[in-house]
Amino acid sequence: MNDINLFTPLKIKGLTLKNRIVLPPMVRFSLIGKDGHVTDELVDWYEEIAVGGVGMIILEAACVAEDGKLRENQIGIWDDTFIPGLTKIADACRKHKTPTLIQLHHAGFKEKISTISEEKLDGILEEFIAAFHRAKKCGFDGIEIHGAHTYLISQLHSKLWNKRTDKYGDRLYFTRQLIKKTKDIFDDNFILGIRIGGNEPTLKDGIQIAKEVEKAGVDLIHVSSGVPDPSFKQDRKIEMPVDFPLDWVVYLGVEIKKHIKIPVIAVRAIKKEGEASYLVENNLVDLVAVGRAMISRPHWISWAKKKYRFRKNTNGRLL
């Protein structure tokens, strides 16, 4: 594993990523109008990131239902009018040989998830399925299900909030059905990822969710945060070793990777080349998400390459 570094390609089924760096989904509200359609400014921003040499882009949360938005200016995919704009982004990224997934999202109902009718959830499941088919028509290289951050699927996965007694009381029922009912659109060149809460509310729950979605057929797991244990009052929402050098959400990804075989993306507060390289060179995760640092430094990849070469030439430390 010593030969693997941040700039080593990675193949996921038929897709080849030129390096281990991922732009995670970040909603660029300032670049989107209230109608939820893609703007030229948004296309340009994603193309700039692709030109910069990132290994993979995960497009920001696209809402599958008009009544499931985070806020008015969030991109949509709930009807066919969104296909042309989203296709522009997919085309722009493909031009630079950058595999691009689109994250599909529904904000949900927070702690009220147990009070929502079964018929309403059935309808949202169908909206997700329709959005999957639209995403394929747009020409993306795959889909990431948003199952983290206390949104709809995280709410259903949560044993703190999901106290339902119907079929959705099986906390992974919605997710399994979504994967099962869309399996026919996936192939070697169109992959399925999922962003999960690694604390739902505990790491043990996150590990179990990861195992279940791997078994259901996902190709890639992106580990972030879920519905937290309310007994943790500080930013960190789990117990973790005091000597772990990075963020607690990164730790979730590192631990979950030990229990599954498909690639894992770690995310949160990874800003420096040394932090990203530490995770990859030690085989702690397969991919690292660099988000806010990529916004503030659009050419983060070339900057990181310089840092990497300098560190290797001087035998510098990873962190």
Q: In this structure, are residues 135 and 182 in contact, taking their beta carbons and an 8 Å threshold?
A: no
Q: What is the DSSP letter of 219?
A: S
- Separation of first and last alpha carbons in the chain: 18
User: In whole angstroms, what separates CA 7 from the centre of its chain?
Assistant: 20
Structural contact between residues 30 and 71, judged by C-beta atoms closer than 8 angstroms? no
259-262 contacts, C-beta under 8 A, 24 or more apart? 259/207, 259/210, 259/211, 260/210, 260/211, 260/214, 260/221, 261/214, 262/214, 262/218, 262/219, 262/220, 262/221
DSSP letter, residue 171: T
Distance CA(273)–CA(9), nearest Å, equals 16
Q: Is 249 helix (H, G, I), strand (E, B) or coil?
A: helix
A 10 A CB-CB count for 115 gives: 9
Single out the catalytic residue among 151, 168, 278, 308: 151
Q: Among this protein's residues, is 278 annotated catalytic?
A: no
Residues assigned a catalytic role = 151
